[in-house]
Amino acid sequence: MLVVKLGGSLYNTKELKAWLTVLASYAEQQTIIIVPGGGPFADQVRTAQLLHQFDDHHAHHMALLAMAQFALLISGLEPQCQLYYYDKTNQPSIPSLSVWLPEQSILAYSEISQDWSVTSDSLALWLSQQLDAEQLTLVKRCPQKSQLIAELVQAQILDASFEQFYRQQAIKTDIIHYQNYAAFNNDNQNTVIHL
């Protein structure tokens, strides 16, 4: 099983549909769960928090709903992509291509900070760990070529909690530039950052 996080910044790009086509094709060989970023929906949460000055706990919950909105959009764009709900106590069979719909139950996991130090990057890693995924691929609009998690966190390419989650249980992780969908699942050193 592979977990692929599609960054919210792909929302307004033609590459979003290209990625969904590539993933739908690859899902014929291997199960893929897409983790959605928050995109413009999460941007609105940040704006609302600045405007109304409410706490991070509520903003975190709203950001999960932002991810859920992007998940529904992804599911609507790719007919093969089914919604996936994570339930630690009851794991149904996972469709060959699905998109994770984060829901309120994730707020009950104490290891997940309810603030902006945890974004969809850390949540994608966390879900990969829960499901014992073979690999996590993060699709991002970043020019960064560092393989050091600390440098990627410092450059704000990865969120502040990613390194902590990674130390708890390392999962093979790649970062692919959003325009390099042809490099998906290849070891092309020029287009893929391997952590």
- CATH code where residue 111 lies: 3.40.1160.10
Determine the number of helices (DSSP H) and then strands (DSSP E) in the chain: 6, 7
Two tokens, residue 182: 């042809």
DSSP string, 89-156: T--PPPPSEEEE---GGGGG-TTS-SSTT--HHHHHHHHHHHTT-SEEEEEE--------HHHHHHTT
Query: How much is the pTM?
Result: 0.93
CA distance to 43, 68, 121, 153, 164, per residue, from 83 (Å):
23, 10, 19, 30, 28
Query: Has residue 89 got a pLDDT over 70?
Result: yes
Tell me the C-alpha distance between 134 and 129, whole Å.
Answer: 9
Question: Binning pLDDT at 50, 70 and 90, where does residue 144 land?
Answer: low
For the chain, the domain total comes to: 1
Q: For residue 19, give its domain range.
A: 2-194
Query: Has residue 54 got a pLDDT over 70?
Result: yes
β-bridge pairing 173-177 and 2-6 = unpaired
Query: Has residue 145 got a pLDDT over 80?
Result: no
Nearest to 176 by CA among 1, 31, 2, 60: 2
Per-residue model confidence as pLDDT tens digits over 150-180: 889 998 899 999 999 999 999 999 999 999 9
Q: What residue type is 178 in one-letter code? A: Y
